[in-house]
């Protein structure tokens, strides 16, 4: 009887855990779908807050930390004047927690590079100090998975926006931009929650790149 009771408890617990995972994944999927439909800063902030609530409820699920940090980071580029800085502040603990949970993951390394770029965007004076850090994380992300297009995108962005005097500029960025384009053309996510953002940012970079000096 005791063995049966123990088995029943194990089965119930396993079932509840599986149900909990399904619930947060479904909720996350829904929030990401909503964010992909809009460029409205307020909607992005609301979505980031909702995903952040999931991250608080499931602190060891790296994807929730990742997507909360990503949503705040991404929305900082859409922020009205004066809001970019506090939005990157909100992203910081989630970006760092995702990296702590998955230190060798190409996506968490890429997100750190992206967040550092967002910090520079919020305050251009940080470029000299944070630009090399962003590029370093991009290089680590490429080393972790050379098929990740977002890693090349982040590297291309930081090189392109670095003054030629400090080793950046259009000419230096050109081969990385081309590499990023090839990687985006080849990339196919394994599932709906695998990070697959960045193509629209790449297209914007391409247009800016073609029109740059």
Residue 14: per-residue pLDDT: 47
DSSP codes joined into one string, 160-186 = HTS-GGGT-SHHHHHHHHHHHHHHHHH
Q: How far are the Cα atoms of 82, 109, 138, 180 from residue 135, in angstroms, in the given order? A: 26, 11, 5, 14
Residue 60: per-residue pLDDT: 97
Q: Are 178 and 146 in contact (CB under 8 A)?
A: no
Is the pTM above the cut of 0.75?
A: yes
Q: How far apart, in whole angstroms, are the C-alpha atoms of residue 187 and residue 175?
A: 18
Residue 13: per-residue pLDDT: 46
Residue 208: per-residue pLDDT: 86
Residue 12: per-residue pLDDT: 46
- Report mean pLDDT in 10-residue bins for the chain, 213 residues: 52 45 90 96 97 98 98 97 97 98 98 98 95 97 98 97 91 96 96 96 90 62
Q: How far apart, in whole angstroms, are the C-alpha atoms of residue 118 and residue 2?
A: 57
Q: Which of left, alpha, beta for 149 (phi over 0: left; psi -120 to 50: alpha)?
A: alpha
Q: Which residues, including other chains, have CB under 8 Å from residue 113's CB and lie 6 or more apart? A: 134, 135, 137, 138, 141, 151, 154, 155, 158
Q: Which residues, including other chains, have CB under 8 Å from residue 79's CB and lie 6 or more apart? A: 41, 87
Residue 183: per-residue pLDDT: 98
């Amino acid at each position: 009887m005791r063995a049966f009771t123990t088995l029943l408890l194990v089965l119930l617990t396993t079932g509840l855990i599986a149900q909990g995972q399904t619930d947060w994944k479904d909720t996350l999927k829904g929030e990401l779908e909503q964010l992909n439909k809009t460029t409205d800063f307020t909607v992005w902030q609301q979505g980031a807050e909702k995903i952040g609530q999931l991250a608080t409820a499931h602190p060891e699920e790296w994807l929730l930390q990742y997507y909360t940090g990503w949503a705040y980071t991404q929305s900082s580029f859409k922020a009205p004047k004066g809001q970019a800085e506090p939005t990157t502040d909100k992203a910081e603990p989630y970006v760092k927690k995702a990296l702590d949970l998955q230190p060798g993951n190409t996506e968490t390394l890429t997100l750190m590079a992206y967040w550092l770029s967002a910090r520079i965007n919020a305050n251009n004076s940080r470029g000299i100090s944070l630009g090399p850090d962003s590029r370093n994380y991009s290089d680590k992300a490429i080393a972790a998975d050379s098929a990740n297009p977002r890693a090349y995108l982040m590297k291309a962005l930081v090189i392109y926006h670095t003054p030629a005097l400090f080793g950046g500029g259009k000419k230096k960025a050109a081969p990385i931009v081309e590499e990023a384009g090839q990687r985006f053309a080849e990339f196919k996510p394994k599932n709906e929650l695998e990070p697959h953002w960045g193509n629209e940012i790449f297209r914007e970079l391409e247009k800016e790149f073609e029109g740059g000096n």
